[in-house]
């Protein structure tokens, strides 16, 4: 079978210039690449530096079982030994109480803003307040709780008061990130659920929130990480104790940031300096461990995608 081919030349003999980049464009490309790589390196230097310093100076204390199981009871800055158990537990207890209060409020608040309040005056007011709360320094949050908890109600300085002030710091972080995650859930999924005759509240509970779950967990972790490193509320609302105290409603309580602060005053002494670095490393590891845990939870709560 022969096709009818029009009698046109296959090409007209004039070669197009396909050699590509002009000199100026190649230069701009190289320049931009160099700048971007440079920016990345500059950003990464302090991170690597901090990690290296903390790990190299702090790791050896962490290798002792004593570090994880004992307190600083009876140990002066000049003496070696003792552990960070009291501070680890204090930090964890206060952070978990904070999360237990802040996370439900934050998630419900975000659900209100995205699913119910959209465009209403109340929602705009809440949104504005959250923005302001995001900018509140930790010491202001601490003093506010001091004024309410101790001056007005006359309670003592205890771990729970710290948690209350940390709630003020954690709430806006978690609420904002949850809000963003809920906004990312496509409306088509909500409509699919409504079209099955599922009420709105159940659609939110069983379709919208589960779809955004991974992102919500990430937000909670960011909030927790921020809160666990805060020092001002600890200094103001609970005294540092070298003893193990697991009761957030009574007595002073150890915490990793205040433990660092305690030994920091005698950095010239080797035992104290070692403990500062070790406590810092412990705090970093604690945040990391919670992060990994949360990621595992998020992974196992969604179905395997394969």
Partner 1 sequence: MAKRIEVSGLNVYYGDFKAVEDVSMTIEPRSVTAFIGPSGCGKSTYLRTLNRMHEVIPGARVEGKVLLDQQDLYATGVDPVAVRRVVGMVFQRPNPFPTMSIFDNVASGLKLNGVKDRKKLTQVVEESLQGANLWNEVKDRLDKPGAGLSGGQQQRLCIARAIAVEPEVILMDEPCSALDPISTLAIEDLIEKLKDRFTVVIVTHNMQQAARVSDQTAFFNLAATGKPGRLIEMGPTKQIFSNPTEKATEDYITGRFG
> Whose Cβ is closer to partner 1: residue 165's or residue 211's?
211
Minimal distance, residue 191 CB to partner 1, in Å: 6
Residue 201 CA: distances (Å) to CA of 33, 109, 178, 197, 204: 49, 14, 17, 12, 5
Q: Is 115 exposed, middle or buried, given 0-12, 13-18 or 19+ CB atoms closer than 10 A? A: middle
Binder among 207, 227, 236, 290 for partner 1 (CB under 8 A): 207
Binder among 126, 139, 144, 210 for partner 1 (CB under 8 A): 210
Kindly give, in sequence order, each residue whose CB lies less than 8 Å from that of residue 116, ignoring residues fewer than 6 positions away: 123
Q: Contacts with partner 1 in 91-120 (CB under 8 A)? A: 118-119
> Whose Cβ is closer to partner 1: residue 5's or residue 303's?
303
189 binds partner 1 (CB under 8 A): yes
> Whose Cβ is closer to partner 1: residue 35's or residue 205's?
205
- DSSP of 208-224, one letter per residue? IHHHHHHHHHHHHHHHH
Stretch that binds partner 1, among 92-100, 152-160, 196-204, 286-294 (CB under 8 A): 196-204
Residue 19 CA: distances (Å) to CA of 15, 16, 22, 103, 206: 11, 9, 9, 59, 57
d(CA 184, CA 259): 41
121 binds partner 1 (CB under 8 A): no
d(CA 92, CA 293): 14
> Whose Cβ is closer to partner 1: residue 56's or residue 120's?
120
d(CA 177, CA 223): 9
74 binds partner 1 (CB under 8 A): no
Binder among 60, 79, 199, 293 for partner 1 (CB under 8 A): 199
- List of residues contacting partner 1 (CB under 8 A): 118-119, 186-199, 202-203, 206-207, 210-211, 213, 302-306
């Amino acid at each position: 079978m022969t096709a009818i081919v029009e009698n046109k030349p296959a090409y007209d003999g004039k070669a197009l210039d396909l050699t590509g980049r002009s000199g100026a464009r190649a230069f701009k490309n190289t320049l931009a690449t160099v700048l971007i790589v440079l920016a990345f390196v500059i950003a990464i230097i302090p991170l690597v530096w901090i990690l290296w310093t903390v790990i190299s100076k702090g790791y050896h204390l962490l290798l002792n079982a004593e570090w994880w199981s004992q307190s600083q009871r009876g140990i002066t800055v000049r003496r070696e030994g003792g552990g960070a158990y009291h501070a680890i537990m204090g930090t964890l207890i206060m952070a978990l109480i904070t999360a237990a209060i802040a996370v439900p409020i934050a998630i419900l608040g975000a659900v209100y803003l995205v699913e119910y309040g959209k465009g209403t005056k109340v929602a705009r007011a809440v949104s504005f307040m959250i923005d302001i709360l995001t900018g509140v320094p930790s010491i202001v949050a601490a003093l506010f709780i001091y004024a309410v908890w101790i001056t007005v109600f006359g309670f003592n300085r205890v771990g729970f008061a710290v948690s209350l002030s940390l709630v003020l710091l954690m709430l806006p972080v978690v609420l904002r990130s949850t809000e963003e995650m809920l906004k990312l859930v496509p409306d088509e999924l909500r409509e699919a659920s409504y079209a099955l005759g599922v009420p709105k509240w159940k659609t939110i509970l069983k379709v919208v929130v589960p779809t955004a779950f991974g992102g919500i967990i990430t937000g909670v972790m960011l909030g927790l990480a921020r809160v666990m490193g805060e020092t001002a509320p600890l200094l103001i609302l609970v005294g540092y104790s070298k003893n193990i105290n697991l009761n957030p409603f009574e007595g002073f309580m150890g915490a990793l940031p205040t433990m660092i602060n305690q030994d920091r005053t005698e950095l010239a002494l080797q035992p104290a300096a070692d403990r500062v670095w070790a406590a810092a490393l412990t705090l970093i590891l604690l945040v990391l461990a919670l992060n990994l845990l949360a990621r595992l939870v998020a992974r196992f709560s969604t179905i395997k995608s394969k």
